[in-house]
Structure 1
Amino acid sequence: MSLTVPSARPSRAAAAPPGRRYDLDAVRVGAFGLLILYHVGMFYVTWDWHVKSPYASAAAEPLMRLVNPWRLAILFFVSGVAVRFATDKASSRGRFAASRLLRLGLPILVGMLVTVAPQTYFELRQDGAIPPDFGAFYARYLSGDLPLLTPTWNHLWYLVYLLVYVLLLLPVLPLLRRLAAREALGRLLGGPWRLLLLVPLPFILFELTLSERFPTTHALVDDWGNHAHRLTIFLLGVLAAKDERFWGSVDRALPAAAAIAILLVPARLFAQPLYDALTSHDLGDGAWTVGYVLYAWSVIVALLGFARRAVRGPSAALAYANGAVFCWYVLHQTIIVAVGYALAPMRLGAWPEAILVILATVIGCLAGYELLRRVPGVRIAFGIKEGRRRSSSQAAPQGSGRTAPTPR
């Protein structure tokens, strides 16, 4: 998917030639990179995850809470922006749907059958639930004869949800285009304070009405609270994509958004132990929810605004990372789980173990991408675009509300 700009950007924002939104390329790469590090962190916190380090503790959990509210929200927003630009360039909605079914559907299918299966294997091995014979395990994995639901998509749920949202979007795309052409979103949110204070309102409502009733499952069919958040911010990205009024408000809101986010950091770091006590009262529950959502949206606006100012054009590193990051996303969690499982019995110490897990994940993702990109017909199954290599002007981004406190 490629992002194009309809007109010149304000002079204080990052300048990008027509046909490219390098700032959003950088946001996308940064968000996926953070997601990879976050999943390394899941090996070390007390929250439920596939495998656990012997050094797992609550020590890193405050830092994980800093990124929990917005780390996936920003990906779905950028996804909405990218889908809008891509659909405007597509010859028809039908052909675009077919291209997304291939581009997203094939990595999901191959992921469930190949990439994700070892995660379940190592999880059950660490629990002592299965013998070491991988062949016997895989037959049971395909048949669903395991203590866990299989075959599964695990971390690839993001691709599943994105594909479903794209298919749901296409029938109403003409209406959304007409709204966007009138800059309806920018007019509604014109001015930094309206942008910062109005957008959180639906997400606060979702938190108070849906999130507790429908806890996050990532299982698609019963995940209504999560869908409300993700689909809404995805549609926000679709409407905002070419709305210069909206992006002008982002530019002007940057200082206030950064200030709000910084002021709310102590609450995200230290107030969690008080949350259960606060939520015994409706007032405390509402105040926590407002702060949670306002913090998340302020961080997103600040990151978008900072990227517009800081990323001023193409670079070889950004082009390479933008072309590789989808593949890295597909591969990374399996590498973390496998390496973590192998290192846990060695009792190397928390820091040596963590450094080795991070290095192995980075090297594994880089090596996996370099290998898979050279295999025609296979690379597309791992999120690598088929065809000639993309130059720095061709690599393109793709890809709110609340994230579950202990996501898988």
Structure 2
Amino acid sequence: MLITDRRYDIDWIRVIAIWLLLIYHTAIGFQPWGMMIGFITNSEPWAALWTPMAMLNVWRIPLLFFVSGMGVYFAIQNRNWKQLWAERASRILVPFVFGTLCIVPIHIYIMSSYYGMEYKYFPHTGHLWFLGNIVVYILLFTPLFYFLKKNETGKLAVALKKIMSHPVGLLIVIAAFVTEVLIIKPQPYEFYVMNLHGFFHGLLSFFFGFYFVYSGEVFWKMIVKWRWLFLLAGLSLFVLRMVEFEMSLPIPIYQLPIETICWILAVFAFGNKYLNQKSKTLQYLSQAAYPVYVLHMVFLYLGSVIIFPLDIVAPLKFLLVLVFTFAGCYFTYEIIRRIKALRFLFGLHNSPRSVSSSPRSVSSQTEI
């Protein structure tokens, strides 16, 4: 039987998470350490950007992994495991390989040319490391997820859903993330790219994303009821973190994953409360999110090369680079969506003139 419920709030959160990624990456270009992690940086830093960046950097990437896990829940409702793997391979693995071979080397070339460094072509995952992790998580969790689906009305399922019907159940989620950092001891916590911390933090986020949706309406009602508490807790922990940082006090490692989960629960709760509405704008933005994610570093670097040498203040440069990046990504998406071969390479399989409102479409739109 085809499942017909659609979660527009999850679609919106996915789109917003991609936008936050673009904004955050643009902001890195105005930090003195940006070049150390492979970004083109402006000669004049903009120190004030660090405060909002610090607020975002503990939950923006985990949020995408949570959403990806939720997407798999919707996908398996109408697919067997072979269909799931085939669909995810074409929508994730193909763009991952294509981007590694053809997209990431472009922005590496742009950076090398800007700084006068010798360039030699080589495939690189770059910002697409996230997609590689998702492929691995799907392979690892497929047996468990289909077991849970098959036994969704059994005693285990009832018990699992009951746990997530009360805020106390969220202590299990927090405990899992705290355990991960206590074992791996990441330095810094916010760095997830191609390391053990990023892999296991993403794995937990992916699993609990699935579990949250699997828990059903009782979970969503619970987090909506307590949404202001989650928001206040996340904000309080962030302020405490900034105070500790300014006072040069060591931030307890367990404090950061607790803050992460509080922010993420707040995002999902407020999203469920206010964003679960169908719109043509969402249909367009949801389809565009995947190509925008794959392409954005190319336009970010192009914009940086053009705008950073200008004799204008840093805030104006930030705004211009951001506009250039968004405009370049969405303009290119308009080309991609009209060419069948490009649609395939960027993981777009629907007709460019229609976006189905079926859950099959929903699940296809929530990989990243």
1:296 deviates by 1.2
For 1:297-312, list aligned pairs within 5 A.
297-312=261-276
Letter in 2 for 1:381: L
For 1:180 and 1:269, the matched residues in 2 are separated by: 43
2:124 counterpart residue number:
152
Which of 216, 220, 226 pairs up with 1:247? 220
| Residue 116 of structure 1 pairs with residue 116 of structure 2 | no
For 1:163 and 1:200, the matched residues in 2 are separated by: 25
1:97 counterpart residue number:
85
For 1:235 and 1:179, the matched residues in 2 are separated by: 17
| Residue 185 of structure 1 pairs with residue 166 of structure 2 | no
Letter in 1 for 2:344: I
Gaps of 5+ in 2: none
2:172 counterpart residue number:
198
For 2:355 and 2:115, the matched residues in 1 are separated by: 46
Letter in 1 for 2:99: G
For 1:266 and 1:203, the matched residues in 2 are separated by: 21
Q: Which has the higher helix share?
A: 2
| Residue 257 of structure 1 pairs with residue 225 of structure 2 | no
Which moved further from structure 2: 174-183 or 330-339? 174-183
2:341 counterpart residue number:
377
Retained in 1: the 8 A contact 2:182–2:254? Answer: no
1:257 deviates by 0.7
- Structure 1's 274 and 227: CA in aligned 2 closer, same or farther, altered over 3 A? farther
Which string of whole-angstrom CA distances, capped at 9 and with x for unpartnered residues, describes residues 248-303 of structure 1?
3222221211221222231244432445x42xxxxxx5xx2232122111111111
1:51 counterpart residue number:
40
For 1:7-406, list aligned pairs within 5 A.
18-47=4-33, 48=36, 49-90=38-79, 92-130=80-118, 137=119, 140-141=120-121, 150-177=122-149, 181=153, 182-195=157-170, 197-212=171-186, 216=191, 218-219=193-194, 223-244=195-216, 245-274=218-247, 277-278=249-250, 288-387=252-351, 389-391=353-355, 393-394=357-358, 396=362, 397-399=365-367
Letter in 2 for 1:100: R
1:159 deviates by 1.1
Retained in 2: the 8 A contact 1:82–1:241? Answer: no
1:314 deviates by 0.5
Which string of whole-angstrom CA distances, capped at 9 and with x for unpartnered residues, describes residues 350-408 of structure 1?
12211210111111111011111000121121232343533372553313xxxxxxxxx
Retained in 2: the 8 A contact 1:191–1:249? Answer: yes
Letter in 1 for 2:178: I
For 2:151 and 2:265, the matched residues in 1 are separated by: 22
For 2:61 and 2:240, the matched residues in 1 are separated by: 20
- Structure 1's 176 and 263: CA in aligned 2 closer, same or farther, altered over 3 A? same
Retained in 1: the 8 A contact 2:307–2:317? Answer: yes
- Specify the SS of the correspondent of 2:340: coil
For 2:352 and 2:326, the matched residues in 1 are separated by: 25
Which string of whole-angstrom CA distances, capped at 9 and with x for unpartnered residues, describes residues 138-169 of structure 1?
xx31xxxxxxxx31111111111111111222
Letter in 1 for 2:167: P
Letter in 1 for 2:50: E
Letter in 1 for 2:27: G
Letter in 1 for 2:148: L
- TM-score w.r.t. length of structure 2: 0.88
Count residues with an aligned counterpart.
354
1:329 deviates by 0.7
Letter in 2 for 1:71: R
Letter in 1 for 2:179: L
For 1:180 and 1:79, the matched residues in 2 are separated by: 20
1:101 deviates by 1.2
Retained in 2: the 8 A contact 1:328–1:366? Answer: yes
1:113 deviates by 2.0
Gaps of 5+ in 1: 5-17, 131-136, 142-149, 279-284, 400-408
Letter in 2 for 1:308: N
